[in-house]
């Protein structure tokens, strides 16, 4: 399951902060279940699944087996790259199509790590090629992103630009915009290529200057949802945004850095209170309520979601470290 790395990853983030052994024990139990996925070549989500979990575990305890699991995961992810198309395939299809979603930008961090760990530059090259092809085809002139691009698998020509989880093909699905913001921030961190910093800042401008971004900075599930201001909010999009903006601020000029920081701070303060932060013992044990998974399919609508918690905790740690003048 694409989300299976977030629960152990969150536990490991919390263990890092608290040194509570109960958290580590439960994380280890989940890692044991998850490790077989290192050989899974049917998903593009190995970054989410393995880097958010084993990547966090490696930072706490640099075990050789964790490193090998991550290398194998990067190799499995690389098998989904088609040089003719220039991107990693997201969803398999029986039709003559090659589907890539903006979420896939989040899986590239694993590939950069793998090049550092092995010295094999092929992982790095795949990540850069995927990011460049996505930059060319996924974005509109206002730097909002489509959700899904359908490529011709034989020659890489774009056949269709559409949505799956957003309101409409031409709308701006909130979590998709957050994934792209986070993804291109990571691209700049890993390559120091200024075009990625520019891209991330353009995406940030689209989000932060959007007339439909509420005052509390917790976005509606889609910036073009038809029933704004009564549309559902998406705490998961807010969490990803907050974490990304805290990192992006490190690379920005002072004026933008302050804007990114203050926006993240607003998001975190609002997520840390009702109605978003659940009372202990409620909400199925999740930290945050009110996320939106897939409205068109009517699944995971206005519910807690594991990745909302993961990026919320990550953002809180980054915020705490920034306030201690450390690296996020």
Catalytic residues, by residue number, are 45, 103
- Rounded to whole angstroms, what are the CA distances from 12 to 54, 56, 169, 274? 9, 6, 37, 25
Separation between Cα atoms, residue 99 and residue 161, nearest integer Å: 10
Number of H helices, E strands in the chain: 12, 7
Spatial separation of the C-alpha atoms in residues 8 and 25, rounded to whole Å: 10
Rounded Cα–Cα distance for residues 18 and 16 (Å): 6
Contact 214, 228 (CB under 8 A): no
Displacement of CA 219 from its chain's centroid (Å):
16
By C-alpha distance, which of 94, 237, 108 is closest to 166? 237
**φ, ψ dihedrals at 206, nearest 5°:** -60, -45
> 231 CB contacts (<8 Å, ≥6 apart)?
220, 221, 222, 225
Distances (CA, A) of 13 to 106, 109, 218, 238, 308: 18, 17, 23, 19, 14
Q: Is the peptide bond before 169 cis (omega within 30 degrees of 0)?
A: no
Other beta carbons within 10 Å of 281: 6
The tally of CA atoms less than 13 A away on the side-chain side of residue 200 is 31
The candidate with the shortest Cα–Cα distance to 10, out of 324, 287, 301, 294, is 287
Beta partners for 291? 303
């Amino acid at each position: 399951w694409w989300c299976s790395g977030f629960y152990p990853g969150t536990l490991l983030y919390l263990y890092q902060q608290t040194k509570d052994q109960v958290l580590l024990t439960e994380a280890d139990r989940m890692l044991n279940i998850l490790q077989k996925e290192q050989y899974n070549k049917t998903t593009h989500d190995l970054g989410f699944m393995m880097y958010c979990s084993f990547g966090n575990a490696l930072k706490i305890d640099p075990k050789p087996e964790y490193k090998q699991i991550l290398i194998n995961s990067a190799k499995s992810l690389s098998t989904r790259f088609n040089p003719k198309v220039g991107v990693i395939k997201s969803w398999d299809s029986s039709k003559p199509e090659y589907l890539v979603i903006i979420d896939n930008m989040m899986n590239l961090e694993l590939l950069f790590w793998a090049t550092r760990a092995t010295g094999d530059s092929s992982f790095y090259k795949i990540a850069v090629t995927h990011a460049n092809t996505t930059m060319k085809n996924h974005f509109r002139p206002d730097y909002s992103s489509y959700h899904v691009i359908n490529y011709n698998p034989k020659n890489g020509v774009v056949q269709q630009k559409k949505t799956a989880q957003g309101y409409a093909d031409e709308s701006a699905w909130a979590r998709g915009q957050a994934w792209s913001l986070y993804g291109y921030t990571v691209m700049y961190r890993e390559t120091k290529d200024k075009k990625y910093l520019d891209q991330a800042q353009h995406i940030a401008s689209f989000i932060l200057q959007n007339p439909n971004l509420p005052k509390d900075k917790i976005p509606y599930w889609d910036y073009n949802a038809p029933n704004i201001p009564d549309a559902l909010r998406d705490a998961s999009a807010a969490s990803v945004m907050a974490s990304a903006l805290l990192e992006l601020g490190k690379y920005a000029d002072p004026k933008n850095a302050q804007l990114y920081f203050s926006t993240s701070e607003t998001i975190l303060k609002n997520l840390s209170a009702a109605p978003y932060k659940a009372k202990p013992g409620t909400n199925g044990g999740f930290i945050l309520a009110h996320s939106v998974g897939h409205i068109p399919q009517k699944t995971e609508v206005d519910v807690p979601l594991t990745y909302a918690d993961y990026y919320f905790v990550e953002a809180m740690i980054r915020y705490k470290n920034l306030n201690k003048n450390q690296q996020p």
